[in-house]
């Protein structure tokens, strides 16, 4: 009987791991984390994959600055994360999709990784500027007029997409934005 229990525990653990990796591949990071956390507790071991997913989640969560401002600042200051882990994960995910010849998925993930790069740089390096609702008082004086004209009158907020996000980074003299501007022509 004990041997059957051991086999059942092993199969359940394997199922949890497979479901976790499937969730991670779909970028359902919270589900992946919970499945691996539960599995790690059962096995009483420190899981390096679990800590990787934790750092990716922290990176992603930098965009929710209002909720986590102090925690995020501490994570960055302490070197627990550097901020772009979520982008790296998306790029690796895109590579896997391309190797599977799922090119539409790969391109979608590449696009999202570019978008996320700009969002995270603005969030981390430029006082929490959010592309979904730019606060003019976070911008230097010389950019306020330019970006105030982008206000969506229906939503009464300033929202910018991928290209405009990198244009803003260029306007802020960010190395990433200036590189974008050079290649954009």
> Does residue 92 fall inside a structural domain?
yes
- Crossing angle between the packed helical segments 65-78 and 48-61, to the nearest 10 degrees: 130
Q: Is the pLDDT of residue 38 over 90?
A: no
| Run of H or E including 151 | strand 151-152
Q: Which of 63-67, 89-93, 144-148, 152-156 has the lowest mean pLDDT?
A: 63-67
87 versus 39: the higher-pLDDT residue is 87
Instruction: List the one residue out of 125, 129, 128, 127 whose CA is nearest residue 164.
Output: 129
Domain-ending residue, one of 70, 102, 134: 102
Q: Which residues form the domain of 163?
A: 126-184
Q: How far apart are CA 138 and CA 129, in angstroms?
A: 7
> Does residue 109 fall inside a structural domain?
no
Residue 137 shares a structural domain with residue 94: no
Residue 180 shares a structural domain with residue 90: no
Q: Is the pLDDT of residue 67 over 70?
A: no
Q: Is 59 exposed, middle or buried (0-12, 13-18, 19+ CB in 10 A)?
A: buried
Contacts for 134 with CB less than 8 Å, ≥ 6 apart: 147, 150, 157, 158, 159, 160, 168
Residue 62 shares a structural domain with residue 97: yes
Residue 112: predicted pLDDT: 96
| Mean of the per-residue pLDDT values of the chain | 88
Domain-ending residue, one of 102, 117, 145: 102
Residue 97 shares a structural domain with residue 48: yes
Q: Is the pLDDT of residue 57 over 80?
A: yes
Total of domains in the chain: 2
pTM over 0.85: no
């Amino acid at each position: 009987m004990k041997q059957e229990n051991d086999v059942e525990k092993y199969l359940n653990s394997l199922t949890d791991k497979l479901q976790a990796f499937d969730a991670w591949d779909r970028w359902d990071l919270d589900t992946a984390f919970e499945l691996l956390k539960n599995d790690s507790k059962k096995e009483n071991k420190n899981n390096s994959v679990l800590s990787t997913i934790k750092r990716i989640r922290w990176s992603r969560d930098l965009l929710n600055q209002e909720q986590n401002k102090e925690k995020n600042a501490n994570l960055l200051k302490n070197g627990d994360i550097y901020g772009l882990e979520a982008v790296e994960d998306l790029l690796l995910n895109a590579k896997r999709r391309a190797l599977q010849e799922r090119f539409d998925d790969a391109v979608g993930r590449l696009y999202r990784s570019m978008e996320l790069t700009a969002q995270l740089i603005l969030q981390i390096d430029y006082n929490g500027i959010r592309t979904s609702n730019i606060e003019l008082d976070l911008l230097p004086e010389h950019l306020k007029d330019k970006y105030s004209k982008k206000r969506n009158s229906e939503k009464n907020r300033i929202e910018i997409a991928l290209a405009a996000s990198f244009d803003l980074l260029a306007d802020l003299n960010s190395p990433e934005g200036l590189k974008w501007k050079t290649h954009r022509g």
